[in-house]
Amino acid sequence: MCTANSCRSQMAEGIVNHFWKDRLEALSAGTQASFVNPLAIEVMKEIGVDIAKHRSKNLSEFDGQNFDHVITLCGDANETCPLYIGTTKKMHIGFDDPAKATGSAEDVRREFRRVRDEMIDQLAQYFLNTA
């Protein structure tokens, strides 16, 4: 979960559903829906993960559903994340927002790639430690 469900949460959903599809299913949402950032789609495609058909979703779309894990990816989502009762494991793993990157087009792409690669590493560590 992230604020706008446009970059970090979309990339995380793609990463989990690609690398751990045999044991996990990820869904992403935001505290406010927006759009899927084209650069997120581009850098995920570079590693063979297609998120082009993803759409930005508001957290309210998942009201009443139970989850094993809820991972917030930005501070705002962590602060506004609803309380989940039961066995839901809530974890905050914060990542910089690549959409806020400045500089040349290549500088911005480099930031998207850096965040993507950091997500792969951090999510792998999290799921290895909670298995």
Which one is catalytic: 1, 2, 120, 123?
2
> What pLDDT, on the 0 to 100 scale, is given for residue 31?
84
Which domain range does residue 95 map to?
A: 8-130
**For every residue of the chain, which 3-state class applies, written as one string?**
CECCCCCHHHHHHHHHHHHCCCCCCCCCCECCCCCCCHHHHHHHHCCCCCCCCCCCCEHHHHCCCCCCEEEECCHHHHHHCCCCCCCCEEEECCCCCHHHCCCCHHHHHHHHHHHHHHHHHHHHHHHHHHC
pLDDT of 81 strictly over 90: no
The domain total for the chain is 1
> What pLDDT, on the 0 to 100 scale, is given for residue 84?
57
Flag whether 91 is in a domain. Answer: yes
Mean pLDDT of the residues in the chain: 89
> What pLDDT, on the 0 to 100 scale, is given for residue 78?
57
Token pair listed for 107: 């500088």
> What pLDDT, on the 0 to 100 scale, is given for residue 85?
53
Flag whether 109 is in a domain. Answer: yes
Q: Is 7 a catalytic residue?
A: no
Which one is catalytic: 74, 77, 115, 120?
74
Flag whether 1 is in a domain. Answer: no
Flag whether 20 is in a domain. Answer: yes
Is residue 109 within 8 Å of residue 101, measured between CB atoms?
A: no
We report the CATH number of the domain holding residue 70 as 3.40.50.2300
Q: How confident is residue 75, by pLDDT bands cut at 50, 70 and 90?
A: low
Give the length of the chain. 131
Flag whether 96 is in a domain. Answer: yes
Flag whether 61 is in a domain. Answer: yes
pLDDT of 98 strictly over 60: yes
Please state the pTM of the whole predicted model. Answer: 0.90
Flag whether 3 is in a domain. Answer: no
Which one is catalytic: 33, 47, 81, 101?
81
